[in-house]
């Protein structure tokens, strides 16, 4: 990865008010002069960071063929493949209207160049009715009048049946050259055409149709690291070397509300987040309104707060009730206490001891359920004296 940038210096401050320049920038009295890789009024912005072999031109990153984005951080969803295929038909003709000389063996000689130019011009006229015709290439000139070994170059738009196309075209080429060499001949050693030929010497040597494999071409262009993420589709008469992020194809990953990006694990959708909604799902097909989520969260928080307050009130009231019940029991025991002892004929609760600290949540019912009569201090020999009531007599 290589990065470049030009020094940037911008500032709105007056010369009498120098600014602090960051990242090695220097104040020149008017503005910060920033070093390479930084920009902004105070050289606070990092610029020119280009990934994946991109080159910073001072304004933007210039990305290589396989990458795009502000920092060349994204793999392109498609690359171009050659949409044409080529073939050659190897022919030999003998030109009788030109005398052979040693100069014709030297491709750099003037005579060779003139002959090549004239022969090419005539062949262009011969094959002008064949759309796939691209020109001729002379491979050798030899003695025997002038024996011309050459190739007829063909080019056709790619189709899965391109070999059949070239087979038919080569037959047209052969028919054309046979017709011309049959018609343009010397009569009594006189040639009435620009070039005359020996009819019996015309031969079609070979038809060469190189194998064209789009899948291999695609893999070679993208490289080994990315090859398993690309595939080839033939659509609308054109070859496409694409990833699943390229829309409009059978295997495309359609990210409805997001962006498809190719990462190490393959193509996946990265969903958008707007001011009002979150999007989610494999193709970002689901949306959640932020207002709804915020409302539910607020309602949940309010409910939790209400429950918490209710628990506090309940605990406070329970504590007060326990204290009130305990106070009642305490007052009840004070009724029969005398100098640290129990009076005859009183009651004692064996399940409750006033001298011990009891749990605040002790229930009154459990306290009274343990009351039993205590007769331990009753003396059966004690005589009870009851004073006879006195009757007061009054006179009428």
Q: Confirm whether 16 is domain-assigned.
A: yes
Residue 387 lies in a domain: no
Domain housing 40: 1-75
Radius of gyration of the chain (CA): 54
In this prediction, residue 152 carries a pLDDT of 97
Instruction: Based on the fold, state whether residues 53 and 117 are members of the same structural domain.
Output: no
Q: Is residue 202 domain-resident?
A: yes
Both 93 and 69 in a single domain? no
Q: Does 90 lie in the same domain as 70?
A: no
Over the stretch 113-130, which tens digit does the pLDDT of each residue have? 999 999 999 999 999 999
Number of domains the chain is built from: 4
- Residuewise pLDDT in 10s, the chain (396 residues): 333 433 444 444 444 567 788 888 888 888 898 887 677 788 877 676 788 888 888 778 889 989 998 889 899 999 988 889 999 999 999 999 999 999 999 999 999 999 999 999 999 999 999 999 999 999 999 998 999 999 999 999 999 999 999 999 999 999 999 999 999 998 888 999 999 999 999 999 899 998 889 999 999 999 988 999 999 999 888 899 999 999 888 889 999 888 899 887 889 999 988 888 889 998 899 988 878 888 888 888 989 989 988 888 888 888 888 888 877 777 766 655 544 454 454 545 544 444 444 454 445 455 555 555 555 556 666 666 666 666 565 554
* Residues 136 and 193 occupy one common structural domain: yes
Q: Exposed, middle or buried: residue 100 (CB in 10 Å: 0-12, 13-18, 19+)?
A: middle
Task: Tell me which of 75, 98, 131 is where a domain ends.
Answer: 75
User: Are 194 and 134 in a shared domain?
Assistant: yes
Indicate whether 384 belongs to any domain.
Answer: no
Instruction: Indicate whether 128 and 241 sit together in one domain.
Output: no
Same domain, 88 and 167: yes
Q: Residue 8: what pLDDT? A: 45
- Position 379 in a domain: no
Q: How far apart are the first and last CA of the chain?
A: 138
pLDDT value of residue 375: 57
**Judgement on whether residues 160 and 231 belong to the same structural domain of the protein:** no
Q: Considering 38, 53, 75, which residue would you say is the last residue of a domain?
A: 75
Shared domain for 88 and 201, answered yes or no, is yes
**395 domain-assigned:** no
In a domain, 378, yes or no: no
Identify the CATH number of the domain in which residue 41 sits: 2.10.25
SS3 track for the chain? CCCCCCCCCCCCCCCCCCCCCCCCCEECCCCEECCCCEECCCCCEECCCCCCCCEECCCCEECCCCEECCCCCEECCEECCCCEEEEEEEEEEEECCCCCCHHHHCCCCHHHHHHHHHHHHHHHHHCCCCCCEEEEEEEEEEECCEEEEEEEEEEEECCCCHHHHHHHHHHHHHHHHHHHHHHCCCECCECCCCCCECHHHCEEEEEECCCCCHHHHHHHHHCCCCHHHCEEEEECCEEEEECCCCCCCCCCCCCCCEEEEEECCEEEEEECECCCEEEECCCCCEEEEHHHHHHHHHHHHHHHHHHHHHHHHHHHHHHHHHHHHHHHHHHHHHCCEECCEECCCCEEECCCCCCCCCCCCCCHHHHHCCEEECCCCCCCCCCCCCCCCCCCCCCC
Can you give the pTM of this predicted structure?
0.57
Q: What is the pLDDT of residues 25-43, one digit of tens each?
A: 888 888 898 887 677 788 8
Predicted pLDDT of residue 381 = 66
Which domain CATH number covers 192? 3.30.70.960
Co-location of 96 and 204 in the same domain: yes
**Judgement on whether residues 149 and 181 belong to the same structural domain of the protein:** yes
Does residue 54 fall inside a structural domain?
yes
Do 312 and 258 reside in the same domain of the chain?
no
């Amino acid at each position: 990865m290589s990065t470049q940038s030009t020094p940037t210096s911008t500032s709105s401050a007056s010369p009498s008010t120098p600014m602090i320049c960051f990242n090695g920038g220097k104040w020149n009295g008017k503005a910060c002069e920033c070093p390479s890789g930084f920009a902004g009024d105070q050289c606070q912005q990092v610029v020119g960071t280009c990934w994946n072999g991109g080159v910073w031109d001072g304004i933007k990153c210039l990305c290589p063929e396989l990458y795009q984005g502000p920092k060349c951080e994204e793999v392109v969803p498609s690359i171009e493949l050659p949409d044409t295929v080529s073939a050659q038909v190897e022919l030999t003709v003998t030109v009788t209207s030109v005398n052979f000389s040693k100069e014709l063996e030297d491709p750099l000689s003037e005579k060779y160049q003139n002959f090549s130019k004239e022969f090419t011009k005539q062949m262009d006229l011969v094959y002008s009715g064949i759309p796939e015709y691209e020109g001729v290439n002379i491979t050798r000139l030899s003695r025997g009048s002038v024996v011309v070994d050459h190739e007829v170059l063909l080019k056709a738009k790619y189709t899965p049946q391109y070999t059949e196309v070239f087979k038919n075209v080569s037959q047209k080429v052969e028919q054309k050259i046979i017709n011309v060499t049959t018609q343009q001949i010397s009569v009594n050693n006189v040639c009435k055409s620009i070039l005359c030929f020996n009819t019996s010497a015309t031969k079609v040597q070979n038809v060469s149709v190189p194998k064209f494999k789009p899948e291999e071409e695609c893999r070679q262009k993208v490289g080994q690291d990315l090859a398993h993420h690309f595939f080839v589709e033939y659509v609308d008469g054109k070859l496409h070397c694409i990833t699943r992020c390229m829309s409009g194809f059978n295997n495309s990953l359609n990210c409805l509300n997001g962006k498809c990006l190719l990462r190490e694990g393959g193509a996946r959708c990265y969903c958008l987040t707007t001011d009002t909604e979150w999007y989610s799902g494999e193709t970002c097909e689901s949306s959640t309104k932020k207002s709804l989520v915020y409302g539910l969260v607020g309602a949940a928080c309010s409910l939790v707060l209400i429950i918490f307050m209710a628990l506090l009130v309940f605990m406070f009231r329970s504590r007060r009730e326990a204290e009130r019940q305990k106070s009642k029991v305490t007052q009840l025991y004070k009724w029969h206490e005398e100098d640290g002892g129990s009076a005859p004929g009183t009651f004692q609760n064996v399940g409750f001891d006033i001298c011990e600290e009891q749990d605040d949540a002790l229930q009154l019912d459990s306290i009274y359920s343990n009351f039993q009569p205590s007769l331990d201090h009753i003396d059966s020999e004690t005589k009870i004296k009851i004073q006879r009531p006195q009757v007061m007599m009054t006179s009428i």
